[in-house]
Chains A and B, each alone.
Chain A
Amino acid sequence: MTTTKSSQHRAEKRTRIAPATFNRRDLVKGAVGAGAMTFALGAQAPMIVRGQSKTNVTFWTTYTDTGLKNLTDIVNAFNKQSTDTNVKIVQIPPAEVTDSSKLITAVRGGTGPDVYLLDRFIVNERAANGLLEDLTDLMKKNGMNPDLTEDYIEFAAREATFDGKPYALPFDTDVRALYYNKAMIKEAGIDPATWDPSKGVLLWDDIKATAAKLNKKDTNGNFTQAGLVPWFDQGLPYTFGFSWGGTFFDKSKCEVTPDNDKIVASGDWIYNYAKDQGVDAFQAFIQAAMKPGAPPQQNPFIQKRMAMWITGDWSIQNLATYAPDIDYGITYLPVPTKGMNSTTWAGGWSVVIPQGAKEPEGAFKFMKYFAGPEGQKMYTKASSHVPTLKSVQADKSLYSGKHVFFIEKLLPTTKNRPPLPVGAKFWDELQTAWQKIYLNKESAKQAYGEAKQNTQTLIQQFCPIT
């Protein structure tokens, strides 16, 4: 019994004492075990986090101000509904639309974005340079037809296609028209009601005569008020060239044609306008507002110092923001001779994937949303631009007020810049020719002839253009 008691006592003692005899070896074993367990759990934890984390996509844009805000709203809406992709919008410094230096150097350095917002008329040039990814495979993988003309309006689809392959998804488009300040044209003795688009198309010469009545100068000869500076903002070679019925590219000859008679005639009209109303004074008047990225507050129409303004649909939004008290009307772009149909033109932007993008799959998911019905509807409502998706464009509920005029009356007859693999060069050459004309340094024939010659040298290498 004693033995039994004694052994039971020892056993009890062992049982009691066992936890106290926690020697160094046990400690090490325990630590290793605990470490292993922690590692195992820890290894699981990141896996769980990884499973929930999203692919990060970088989206670059040069937009500023309200444009940037509108894009950010679309990005936020996308991020909210996406379970696997998170887009970060990055604003890069604004420059001329043809200047892609930041993008090119970043792509070469391996630090380019996954998505880039590119002016659509230079998509062809950037694609020809090898800067952009061909979207064919990504479109097929995401259930889209690589033939963009199926879903998008034709000219936007053509601008986004190079050599038969899609390199961009068209985003918005825009249409040019003539805006006029009703109170100011009354000063010139014009009843604003007679300028209503329902009364027909105005003549450029009548506009010129009205504008002359509204020009006012100070004692130093500077304009304090102007009727119209026709080369300000969207008063561009394309605007006037199309208005006179000209064409800028002859596909059959693979030849740019800014020197055709109609475009030269439009240039002559501008040359004479400047000559009659003041070359230098006009330049001084609009200079501050002409800089790339100039704030809307410097615009003389917004400052109520210019009665007429050639601009696009997006200015409805700008005027609502910066000059809500201006009572203004919008009408067709005038025509040079009675009986001609008014012609305008459209441009617009698109989203592309630059070469070397780290997350092309995630990038395309975002592009599909951004340039798809969701993104285009949001942008149309916020910016008063025009959607490029046929299905969205047909949705009348998106347009109201003055915006309806652009959709119903202008869009059906709009033209567009020829999508060329030397689009940026041609644009710059036309701009230089335009300056020569409105500064009265060269005749339209000579200036446009030089623009043709300088562009034609480069375009030859891409001929024939399909």
Chain B
Amino acid sequence: MNSVTVTSPPGNAPTRHRMTRNEWRNLRNGLLFISPWIIGFLAFLVYPIYYTVRISFTKYTGFGPATWIGLDNYHRMINDPIFWKALWNTVYYTALAVPIGVVVAMGLALCMNQRLPEVPLYRAILFIPSIIPGFALSLIFLILMDPTQGIFNRIITSVGLPGINWFGDPAWVKATFVFMAQFGAGQVALIFLASLKAIPASLHEAAMMDGASAMNRFWNITVPLMTPVILYDLILGLSLGLQIFTQAYIITQGGPIDSSRFYVLYLYDNAFKYGQMGYASALSVVLFVITFVLAALIFWSSNRWVNYDTM
């Protein structure tokens, strides 16, 4: 094996590259061009994060001076039963909504990928629910899932099953939100569809010649080659799942009995109902850490199951 080693000429110490006037000008112009983003990044991301971390160590109502209380807010969290309840509700929701969302999005993508003349129409129909804003979807589901008049219960009771109080029963409310979340799967399905289209047809053809069934090809060709986008969806879904807010705020306000009091809803209550901005900031710092750790775990595990070979 040949190797080439580049060395400095004898007697010449390595010198720092001096930028020419042209390079300086280019650098300056480049920075000026991206300065709106830099300013936005600093003002709307870096500073708020710094500010949140700082006031998480204070007792602060949002008005007047903040009082430094060290780690008291974090200590209070440990002894706060509603914090644990909200955390459990959120983890429960995320743990179900995200993986189910991957399966639903995959199913939609496979449907959208059929070679049919009217497939553009089907794609539009499957995608439409995902462009409905969260608050509008919530109001629609309030009507659809009304325990006495809603269409879901009418269908269930028509086949002899007992009606369900979807949003009013603590045992059902989280599962109902998981179900609702699947109506946003169209967005991810589009990404999955693009990924499906990128899989070389030759791989499937070769497998078919070898006698592989459709199911075999799905599990051994399609799924492995889509793992990079599945990873992307898991990370995105994790972040969005842990921040669930709108649906619960509009439909249940955290009830019944805190069974849909999700983490961000509790954070919101502390900040805007109880004047506990310092505590709410501590809650958001902890949420950031939880999200970061879970995302890191998914990334770490991705070495074992994500396949970048052909994509």
Q: Do A and B come from one complex?
A: yes
A interface with B by C-beta (< 8 Å)? 96, 98-101, 104-105, 107-108, 125-126, 128-131, 220-222, 280, 283-285, 287-288, 291-292, 355, 422, 424-425, 428, 431-432, 435-436, 439, 441, 450, 454, 457-458, 461
B interface with A by C-beta (< 8 Å)? 59, 61-64, 76, 79-82, 142, 146-149, 157, 162-163, 165, 167-170, 253, 255-258, 268-269, 271-276
Smallest CB separation, B171 vs chain A (Å): 10
* Residues of B with C-beta under 8 A to A432: 255, 257-258
Question: Which partner residue on chain A sits nearest B76 by CB separation?
Answer: A457
Q: Which of A428, A454, A458 contacts B81 (CB 8 A)?
A: A454
Smallest CB separation, B51 vs chain A (Å): 12
Excluding A105-B272, A287-B167, A355-B63, 16 further A-B contacts by CB distance (< 8 Å) are: A96-B273, A98-B273, A108-B62, A130-B63, A131-B61, A280-B165, A283-B147, A283-B165, A284-B148, A287-B146, A422-B274, A432-B257, A435-B255, A435-B257, A436-B257, A458-B274
A129 touches B275 (CB 8 A): yes
Q: How far is the CA of A128 from the CA of B63 in the complex (A)?
A: 10
B275 touches A128 (CB 8 A): yes
* Residues of B with C-beta under 8 A to A288: 146, 149
* Given A101-B268, A287-B146, A292-B253, A424 contacting B168 (CB threshold 8 A): no
Question: Which partner residue on chain A sits nearest B163 by CB separation?
Answer: A220
Smallest CB separation, A134 vs chain B (Å): 13
Q: How far is the CA of A212 from the CA of B295 in the complex (A)?
A: 54
Q: How far is the CA of A98 from the CA of B268 in the complex (A)?
A: 12
Question: Which partner residue on chain A sits nearest B269 by CB separation?
Answer: A428
* Given A222-B147, A280-B165, A450-B81, A100 contacting B273 (CB threshold 8 A): yes
Q: How far is the CA of A125 from the CA of B273 in the complex (A)?
A: 9
* Residues of A with C-beta under 8 A to B272: 99-101, 104-105
Question: Which partner residue on chain A sits nearest B276 by CB separation?
Answer: A458
Smallest CB separation, A126 vs chain B (Å): 8
Q: Is the interface of B mostly helix, strand, loop or mixed?
A: loop
Q: Which of B64, B142, B157 contacts A220 (CB 8 A)?
A: B157
B163 touches A222 (CB 8 A): yes
Q: Which of A280, A292, A441 contacts B257 (CB 8 A)?
A: A441
Q: How far is the CA of A100 from the CA of B273 in the complex (A)?
A: 6
Q: How far is the CA of A222 from the CA of B63 in the complex (A)?
A: 49
B170 touches A129 (CB 8 A): no
Q: How far is the CA of A460 from the CA of B230 in the complex (A)?
A: 49
* Residues of A with C-beta under 8 A to B63: 107-108, 129-131, 355
Question: Which partner residue on chain A sits nearest B139 by CB separation?
Answer: A291
Smallest CB separation, A96 vs chain B (Å): 6
Q: How far is the CA of A108 from the CA of B277 in the complex (A)?
A: 13
* Residues of B with C-beta under 8 A to A454: 80-82
A221 touches B162 (CB 8 A): yes
Q: How far is the CA of A283 from the CA of B59 in the complex (A)?
A: 39
Q: How far is the CA of A126 from the CA of B169 in the complex (A)?
A: 33
Closest 10 CB pairs of A and B: A130-B63, A284-B147, A129-B275, A101-B272, A129-B61, A130-B64, A283-B168, A220-B157, A435-B257, A425-B274
* Residues of A with C-beta under 8 A to B61: 128-131
A287 touches B273 (CB 8 A): no
B273 touches A425 (CB 8 A): yes
B62 touches A424 (CB 8 A): no
Smallest CB separation, A459 vs chain B (Å): 11
Q: Which of A220, A422, A441 contacts B170 (CB 8 A)?
A: A441
Q: How far is the CA of A424 from the CA of B268 in the complex (A)?
A: 13
Q: How far is the CA of A129 from the CA of B277 in the complex (A)?
A: 10
Q: Which of A125, A128, A284, A292 contacts B163 (CB 8 A)?
A: A284
Q: How far is the CA of A410 from the CA of B88 in the complex (A)?
A: 45
Question: Which partner residue on chain B sits nearest A421 by CB separation?
Answer: B275
Q: How far is the CA of A361 from the CA of B68 in the complex (A)?
A: 35
* Residues of B with C-beta under 8 A to A441: 170, 257
Question: Which partner residue on chain A sits nearest B143 by CB separation?
Answer: A288
* Residues of B with C-beta under 8 A to A222: 147-148, 163
B273 touches A424 (CB 8 A): yes
Q: How far is the CA of A74 from the CA of B259 in the complex (A)?
A: 42
* Residues of B with C-beta under 8 A to A129: 61-63, 275
Question: Which partner residue on chain B sits nearest A291 by CB separation?
Answer: B142
Q: How far is the CA of A221 from the CA of B157 in the complex (A)?
A: 10
Q: How far is the CA of A263 from the CA of B64 in the complex (A)?
A: 37
* Residues of A with C-beta under 8 A to B64: 130
* Residues of B with C-beta under 8 A to A428: 269, 273
Smallest CB separation, A329 vs chain B (Å): 28
* Residues of B with C-beta under 8 A to A450: 81
Smallest CB separation, B259 vs chain A (Å): 9
* Residues of A with C-beta under 8 A to B257: 432, 435-436, 439, 441
A125 touches B275 (CB 8 A): yes
Smallest CB separation, A303 vs chain B (Å): 12
* Residues of A with C-beta under 8 A to B273: 96, 98-101, 424-425, 428
* Residues of A with C-beta under 8 A to B276: 458
B258 touches A287 (CB 8 A): no
Smallest CB separation, B281 vs chain A (Å): 14
Smallest CB separation, A304 vs chain B (Å): 16
Question: Which partner residue on chain A sits nearest B62 by CB separation?
Answer: A104
A-B contact pairs, 30 of them (CB 8 A): A96-B253, A99-B273, A100-B272, A100-B273, A101-B268, A101-B271, A101-B273, A104-B62, A104-B272, A108-B62, A129-B62, A129-B63, A221-B163, A222-B148, A280-B169, A283-B165, A283-B169, A284-B147, A287-B147, A287-B167, A288-B146, A422-B274, A424-B273, A439-B170, A439-B256, A439-B257, A454-B82, A457-B76, A458-B274, A461-B59
* Residues of B with C-beta under 8 A to A107: 63
Q: How far is the CA of A292 from the CA of B254 in the complex (A)?
A: 13
Smallest CB separation, A339 vs chain B (Å): 35
Smallest CB separation, A432 vs chain B (Å): 6
* Residues of B with C-beta under 8 A to A283: 147, 165, 168-169, 256
Question: Which partner residue on chain B sits nearest A99 by CB separation?
Answer: B273
Question: Which partner residue on chain B sits nearest A130 by CB separation?
Answer: B63
Smallest CB separation, A166 vs chain B (Å): 18
Most chain B CB within a 10 A radius of its CB, from A105, A292, A439: A439
* Residues of A with C-beta under 8 A to B157: 220
Question: Which partner residue on chain B sits nearest A96 by CB separation?
Answer: B253
Smallest CB separation, A465 vs chain B (Å): 16
* Residues of B with C-beta under 8 A to A291: 142
Most chain A CB within a 10 A radius of its CB, from B63, B82, B169, B273: B273
Q: How far is the CA of A426 from the CA of B168 in the complex (A)?
A: 22
Most chain A CB within a 10 A radius of its CB, from B142, B167, B255, B271: B255
